[in-house]
């Protein structure tokens, strides 16, 4: 990722015809304030791409009321002339067959962009790259150049999605330690996934060809995990001939931050539960594979196993590791406690945990290489807390990994389906 950040992607594109490529950016928002939306649009303005070939669709929800409409119009008035095209999309409330949330909003916005921008100006769908961003997503300067290079050089550009690395750096210095550890752990997980693209699905902010998106029928409007589902929709639609291209280039988003520590912890749990609700894709995939006879059997088995094993491990492995040391002694009974295994178990567990601590040390080193510059309102001593925070990992993995995962999977098993929960955005006073 550091190497990708250092590359001059404009120079890499010199020998590739790319001036016909059009960037369509969809920005859905709910109850976020003007500042949050404005910062995201500013990052697009500062990106290195011909703004005459960039269109923004700012998508707001009718159910929020006049406040969201006022923010949308204020943003439009301030930034409309900075881009080739800038339109507003008002997602109606209470549409039949829809679940209120990001998926239904961006699907409505994509169709608004198609009619109001692409068709109106006779822009070919195959020339358009559409990026669906969370409203707190801030792109680094060369994101669209890097994205375009990957689109033009990959084997099947119209059968591919493109996934950047999410960094939760926007407010990382202001977020509490608990939030920082969970957010950075999420970044590490996505980086690992990028190293094994055969297991990679789209997540949060992602990009793809508008041609493919239109053929598939946009994001599903009645589910929570629309970001990953669009990949599985495309995989089934194109008979298994679809992939996610990892882009080792970051986009920056917000870590969880609320006015109080306990509210922050509550929001982290709800966000992790929403993410692990991606288990809803498992039955969709399994039934889809049964119906589609054109996908190779070996690929069906591999993908099915990866999904089943992945969600099972997510919800069980952290608990097994957490209880590894003392649980056998508690449930083993007197007979087990007299064995040589029981005698040596604490020592073996201690040695395993010491070795595992090396991983925490590496996590500290890597996470520091991602940190933005320390803001002026944070003292030097705050750096020490950034190191100390990693002792929370043995707690954060089960509390904000396994337990939300079990929560989501149990809800699905019992047929108690979850709605889309929007993570609240909070700006600390020092940054306002």
Is residue 23 located within the same domain as residue 157?
yes
Is residue 236 located within the same domain as residue 358?
no
Structural domain contains residue 303: no
Tally of structural domains, the chain: 2
Across the beta sheet with 22-28, what order do the strands follow? 85-91, 54-61, 22-28, 128-132, 206-209, 160-167, 243-252, 138-139
Is residue 266 located within the same domain as residue 323?
no
Domain that holds residue 341: 312-431
Structural domain contains residue 339: yes
Is residue 104 located within the same domain as residue 164?
yes
Is residue 36 located within the same domain as residue 124?
yes
Is residue 250 located within the same domain as residue 349?
no
Is residue 116 located within the same domain as residue 31?
yes
Structural domain contains residue 299: no
Look up the CATH number of the domain holding residue 191.
3.90.550.10
Structural domain contains residue 302: no
**Residue that is last in its domain, among 237, 270, 303:** 270
Is residue 326 located within the same domain as residue 263?
no
Rounded Cα distance, 421 and 8, in Å = 39
Structural domain contains residue 139: yes
Rounded Cα distance, 259 and 202, in Å = 31
pLDDT of residue 384: 87
Is residue 185 located within the same domain as residue 250?
yes
10-residue mean pLDDT profile of the chain (432 residues): values are: 94 94 97 94 96 97 94 96 96 91 95 97 97 95 97 97 94 92 92 90 95 96 93 97 96 92 93 92 96 96 94 90 75 83 81 82 88 87 86 88 94 90 70 44
pLDDT of residue 429: 52
What pTM was computed for the model? 0.91
Structural domain contains residue 369: yes
CA angle, 237 as apex, 54 and 202 as ends, to 5°?
50
Structural domain contains residue 298: no
pLDDT of residue 20: 95
């Amino acid at each position: 990722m550091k190497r990708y950040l250092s590359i001059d992607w404009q120079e890499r594109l010199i020998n590739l015809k790319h001036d016909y490529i059009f960037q369509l950016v969809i920005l859905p928002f709910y109850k976020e304030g003007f500042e949050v939306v404005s910062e995201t649009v500013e990052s697009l303005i500062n990106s290195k791409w011909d703004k005459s070939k960039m269109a923004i669709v700012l998508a707001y929800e009718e159910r929020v009321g006049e406040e969201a409409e006022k923010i949308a119009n204020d943003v439009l008035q301030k930034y409309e002339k900075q881009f080739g095209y800038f339109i507003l999309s008002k997602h109606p409330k209470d549409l039949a067959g829809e679940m209120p949330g990001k998926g239904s909003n961006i699907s409505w916005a994509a169709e608004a962009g198609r009619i109001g921008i692409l068709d109106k100006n006779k822009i070919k769908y195959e020339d358009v790259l559409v990026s669906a961003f969370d409203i707190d997503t801030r792109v680094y300067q060369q994101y669209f150049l890097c994205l375009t290079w990957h689109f033009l050089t990959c084997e099947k550009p119209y059968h591919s999605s493109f996934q950047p690395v999410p960094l939760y750096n926007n407010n990382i210095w202001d977020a509490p330690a608990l939030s920082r550890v969970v957010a950075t752990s999420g970044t590490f997980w996505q980086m690992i996934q990028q190293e094994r693209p055969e297991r990679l699905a789209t997540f949060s902010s992602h990009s793809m060809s508008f041609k493919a998106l239109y053929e598939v029928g946009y994001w599903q409007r009645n589910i929570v995990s629309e970001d990953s589902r669009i990949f599985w929709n495309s995989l089934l639609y194109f008979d298994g001939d679809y992939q996610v291209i990892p882009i080792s280039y970051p986009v920056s988003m917000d870590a969880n931050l609320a006015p109080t520590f306990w509210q922050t912890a509550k929001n982290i749990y709800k966000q992790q539960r929403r993410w692990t609700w991606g288990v809803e894709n498992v039955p969709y995939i399994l039934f889809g594979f049964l119906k589609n006879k054109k996908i190779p059997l070996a690929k069906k088995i591999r993908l099915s196993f990866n999904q089943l094993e992945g969600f099972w491990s997510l919800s069980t492995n952290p608990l097994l590791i957490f209880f590894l040391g003392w649980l056998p002694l508690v449930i083993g009974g007197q007979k087990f406690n007299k064995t040589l295994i029981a005698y040596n178990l604490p020592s073996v567990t201690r040695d395993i945990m010491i070795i595992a601590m090396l991983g925490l040390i590496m996590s500290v080193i890597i996470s520091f290489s991602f940190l933005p510059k320390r803001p002026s309102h944070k003292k030097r001593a705050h750096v020490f807390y950034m190191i100390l925070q990693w002792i929370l990992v043995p707690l954060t993995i089960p509390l904000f990994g396994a337990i939300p995962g079990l929560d989501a999977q149990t809800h699905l098993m019992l047929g108690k389906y979850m709605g889309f929960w929007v993570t609240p955005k909070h700006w600390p006073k020092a940054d306002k």
